[in-house]
Each structure stands twice: as structure tokens, then as C-alpha cells.
């Protein structure tokens, strides 16, 4: 049996790679089709002639997915399966025209069991994790237990993406050391997923250190690799596991790497260990410089004092600091947003990444926004592909907040410009703001991953294209 994965992002999803690896191990075939990379997506898929067409579905992308699902259902008559976070939180999407099945949660075994059943002409409406549309009704199967231990899964199938030359030759490649997160921040999908999977096993799980190193070594032997990016939500969550891993990584891999950390999980010993192992840059979620808002509204229990201490450690060990920030939180004033900007300056952030808050479905903060009237369900449906273009919340000073996001980086780097920025954001200079944003973010991103110009240009082209396209469509 053959399965096709269709997506509208120029990105290699580790979840798709994992499903593909399990499916291939089960004797089936897979192929990924990225919309932007195909001259004619429909013709390319028809030529492949899959038995099942799968769409990884993320909040913001569901409009494109549903449009394509209906089109491909009409043209091919094949089974259409939606998976990913949006389908997991809103499995009722299976009722939409063109959709046959929704896969909730981890998809490795449900997908291979579906293919096995189709191959043997057996029923597939009782497979756990699947919601199946049948005879005008929906069969809602329960979730199976979380995969544990993770090492029983085969190595990721990178080839499913690396048929695209630019992805294969990207010298920064993504890896993970496990699945899940021990924290329940109100804006993050982890709180919702942990709730859905309650009683179904450990939510936070790790591969063995040897398994992670094996995968990195395998990729390095077959493809260009200069920088390893560990995309786990909280790379530093298990210090005991990480301490051994860093020693082995330095000995066996010895490549620069980037990871995501939490300010309350970094001490001097770990900062030194990260630096010695080759950590060149980290992402750290500041979210807002207003401590009260961060703790009470976002349920991120980290104080400004802890952020300052961690930033000092990172600077001491010459680890480049990128801070994830959000502007346009529910009820946020312009002065509170500027407080975030000033806090980034205070802790000397190297790359002040700033997004416009989007009330993604399935999070506690979105439920709060609905309850308090900051957003309606109709507004949530209007969330697009990008979190860099606009806000759907009913906030005061929305236009100024959105404009400030474009000039955020400039204000952090040149704090003497803040009084000027406060005046500029009242003006409708969208094109100029976009240009400044793209230049600032691009150059900072280049330094963050230590790209050569040859490595940087493809990233810059795609990010610029995606950003401007999302602005145009929304």
C-alpha cells in the first residue's frame, strides 16, 4: 500500500518522518508532497497513485487542508486522513466534506494498522486513535497508550523529505531527544495534550542517549550537517539524562548545536556543560516582561530575577541568547508590551524574536480568551498560517501592538529609539515596518545559527516569501 503526505509548509516534520519509518518497516510505501515544491500538486499525486492521502494539520493551516482534501477526494476517490495537533484537538473536523478519517495523537501505529487492514480488505473502523466516518455517522475510537519506550520506534525516515534537494542540503537539521514537556503553560499545546492522554502512560518520555547519537551520526554520514537543532520544547527538563548525553555528544558528535531551554532549569554547572558540549545558541521563552502577567495569565512560573540570572550565565559562557516573546496578549496594554521590549534590552537578548499572540485551539489561554470575550469562535477560525501578521483579539491599541511587533527587534537593540517607535507605530507605514522586520530578523537569524551566506540565502528567500504571502492572503 502507498500513502502520500501533503503539506503547505516548506518544513520537515519529525512526526511525519516517524510515521513514514513505521509504515515502511511494515512493508508499505510513503512519499511527501510539499505544495510549493510541486509544479502541479494534483498531477504529482495522481502520478504516485497513493491508496491513502494524509494531511498533517496545524491550527491556521486547516483552511488549506480542507480545501485540498475535498479536491483530492473528488479527483482520486482515495481515503483522506487528517492528523496533527488541530485534528487531535478538534477531531470533529472529520465531519467536513472530503475527510474520511481523523487520527488523534501519535500516528505511527494507527496509520500502519490502517494500511494493513486496507491491504487485507479488512475493517478499519475499530482502530484506536482513529475517528472514522461511516454511513453518515462517526465512529469515535479511544486513544491507545503513549508509545513507551520511544527507542522501539525505528530511526526517522529522513529520505521521505530529502528527495527535495534544498531540504537535504540544509546544513541545519532538526532532531529531538524525546516527547512531551513537564510544564503546563496556558498558551502551549502540551497542557491540552497531557489532559487528553491522562491515564495513557508517561507524557514526558526520552530516547536513550545512544539512540539520539545514532540518529545524528547516521544523518551526518549521508547528508550535509553543520549545526544540530534539538527542537524539544524543554531540552533541559531532565538534568540527569542531559548530563550524560552532553559528555557523549562532545565525544562522538562534536558539532555545534542549538536547543530550547527554561530559565528556571539552568544553573552554572549545566550552562558550562552546554557550552563545553558545543551549544552555540539557545531559545528561551520570556513571553512577556510583565512578571505578574507571565505567572498568573500564562501560568509560566518563572520570575524576572530567574531570567536575569540565566541570561547572565548564558552570556558568561558565550552562548547566543534568543528570547521568544509575544505581543497582543489578552488585555495587554501598549505600555505592558513595551515592558517586554525593555526587559529584553535589560537581559541583553541577542535575538529578540517576537510573535503576535494567536489563540490557537486546545489551549487554556484560548479558553480564557473565549470566556472573557477577547475572541469568538468565528475569530479563531480566521487565524492564518502566520503568527507574524495580525491579531484576532479584541484588544485596545491593536494596530499599535501589531506595528510594535515589527519594530520590536529595533527597539531592543537601540533602546534610545523607543520614544520614536511609540510615535511611529501610530502611523500606517505597513510596508516599511515589514521591510525593517525582515531585515532585522534575517540578519539575527543568520548569526544565531552561524550560517554562511550560501546557507543563509535559501532560508531568507523562503521566510521572506512565506511572510509576504501570508500578509497578502490575510
User: In 10 A of CB 5, how many CB atoms?
Assistant: 27
Low-confidence stretches of the chain (pLDDT beneath 70): 384-389, 445, 448, 451-452, 454-474
How long is the chain?
474
Rg (CA), the chain: 22
The alpha carbon of 237 is separated from its chain's Cα centroid by a whole number of angstroms, namely 18
In this prediction, residue 473 carries a pLDDT of 46
Tens digit of each residue's pLDDT (9 = 90 or more) over 114-147: 999 999 999 999 999 999 999 889 999 999 999 9
Strand 205-206 and strand 178-179: the pairing is antiparallel
- Entry pTM: 0.92
pLDDT value for 237: 95
| Tens digits of residue pLDDT in 73-91 | 999 999 999 999 999 999 9
Peptide bond into 111 cis (omega under 30): no
Domains and CATH numbers, the chain: 2-140 (3.40.50.280), 169-473 (3.80.30.20)
Q: 10 Å Cβ neighbour count for 381?
A: 12
What pLDDT, on a 0 to 100 scale, did the predictor assign at position 460?
63
Please report, for residues 135, 164, 270, 310, the alpha-carbon distance to residue 317 in angstroms, rounded to integers and kept in the order given.
62, 37, 11, 11
Position 392 scores a pLDDT of 79
Q: Render pLDDT for 174-206 as a digit per residue (tens, 0 to 9).
A: 999 999 999 999 999 898 899 999 999 999 999
Q: Which value, to the nearest 10 degrees, does the dihedral of the CA atoms of residues 150, 153, 158, 163 take?
A: -150
Amino acid at each position: 500500500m502507498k500513502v502520500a503526505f501533503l503539506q503547505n509548509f516548506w518544513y520537515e516534520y519529525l512526526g511525519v518522518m516517524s510515521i513514514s519509518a513505521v509504515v515502511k518497516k511494515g512493508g508499505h510505501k510513503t512519499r511527501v508532497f510539499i505544495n510549493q515544491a510541486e509544479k502541479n500538486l494534483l498531477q504529482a499525486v495522481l502520478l504516485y497513485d497513493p491508496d491513502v492521502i494524509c494531511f498533517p494539520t496545524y491550527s491556521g493551516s486547516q483552511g488549506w487542508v480542507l480545501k485540498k482534501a475535498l479536491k483530492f477526494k473528488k479527483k482520486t476517490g482515495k481515503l483522506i486522513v487528517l492528523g496533527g495537533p488541530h485534528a487531535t484537538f478538534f477531531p470533529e473536523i472529520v465531519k467536513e466534506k472530503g475527510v474520511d478519517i481523523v487520527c488523534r495523537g501519535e500516528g505511527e501505529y494507527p496509520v500502519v494498522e490502517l494500511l494493513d487492514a486496507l491491504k487485507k480488505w479488512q475493517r478499519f473502523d475499530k482502530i484506536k486513535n482513529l475517528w472514522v466516518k461511516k454511513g453518515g455517522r462517526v465512529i469515535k475510537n479511544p486513544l491507545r497508550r503513549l508509545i513507551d519506550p520511544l527507542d522501539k520506534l525505528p530511526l526517522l525516515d529522513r529520505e521521505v523529505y530529502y528527495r527535495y534537494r534544498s531540504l537535504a542540503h540544509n546544513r541545519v537539521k532538526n532532531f529531538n531527544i524525546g516527547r512531551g514537556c513537564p510544564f503546563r503553560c496556558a498558551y502551549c499545546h502540551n497542557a491540552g495534550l497531557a489532559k487528553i492522554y491522562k491515564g495513557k502512560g508517561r507524557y514526558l518520555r526520552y530516547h536513550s542517549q545512544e539512540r539520539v547519537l545514532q540518529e545524528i551520526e547516521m544523518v551526518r554520514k549521508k547528508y550535509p550537517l553543520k549545526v544540530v537543532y534539538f527542537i524539544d520544547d524543554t531540552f533541559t527538563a531532565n538534568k540527569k539524562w542531559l548530563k550524560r548525553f552532553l559528555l557523549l555528544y562532545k565525544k562522538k558528535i562534536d558539532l555545534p548545536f542549538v536547543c530550547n531551554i527554561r530559565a528556571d532549569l539552568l544553573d552554572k554547572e549545566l550552562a558550562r556543560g552546554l557550552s563545553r558540549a558545543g551549544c552555540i545558541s539557545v531559545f528561551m521563552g520570556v513571553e512577556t516582561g510583565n512578571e505578574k502577567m507571565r505567572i498568573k495569565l500564562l501560568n509560566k512560573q518563572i520570575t524576572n530575577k530567574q531570567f536575569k540570572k540565566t541570561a547572565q550565565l548564558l552570556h558568561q559562557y558565550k552562548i547566543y541568547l534568543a528570547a521568544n516573546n509575544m505581543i497582543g496578549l489578552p488585555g495587554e496594554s501598549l505600555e505592558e508590551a513595551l515592558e517586554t521590549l525593555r526587559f529584553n534590552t535589560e537581559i541583553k537578548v541577542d535575538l529578540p524574536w517576537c510573535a503576535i499572540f494567536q489563540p490557537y485551539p486546545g489551549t487554556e489561554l484560548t479558553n480564557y480568551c473565549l470566556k472573557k470575550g477577547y475572541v469568538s469562535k468565528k475569530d479563531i477560525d480566521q487565524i492564518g498560517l502566520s503568527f507574524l501578521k495580525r491579531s484576532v483579539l479584541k484588544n485596545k491599541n491593536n494596530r499599535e501592538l501589531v506595528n510594535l511587533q515589527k519594530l520590536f527587534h529595533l527597539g531592543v537593540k537601540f533602546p534610545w529609539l523607543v520614544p520614536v517607535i511609540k510615535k511611529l507605530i501610530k502611523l500606517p507605514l505597513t510596508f516599511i515596518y515589514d521591510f525593517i522586520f525582515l531585515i532585522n530578523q534575517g540578519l539575527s537569524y543568520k548569526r544565531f545559527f552561524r550560517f554562511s551566506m550560501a546557507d543563509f540565502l535559501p532560508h531568507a528567500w523562503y521566510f521572506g516569501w512565506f511572510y509576504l504571502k501570508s500578509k497578502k492572503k490575510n
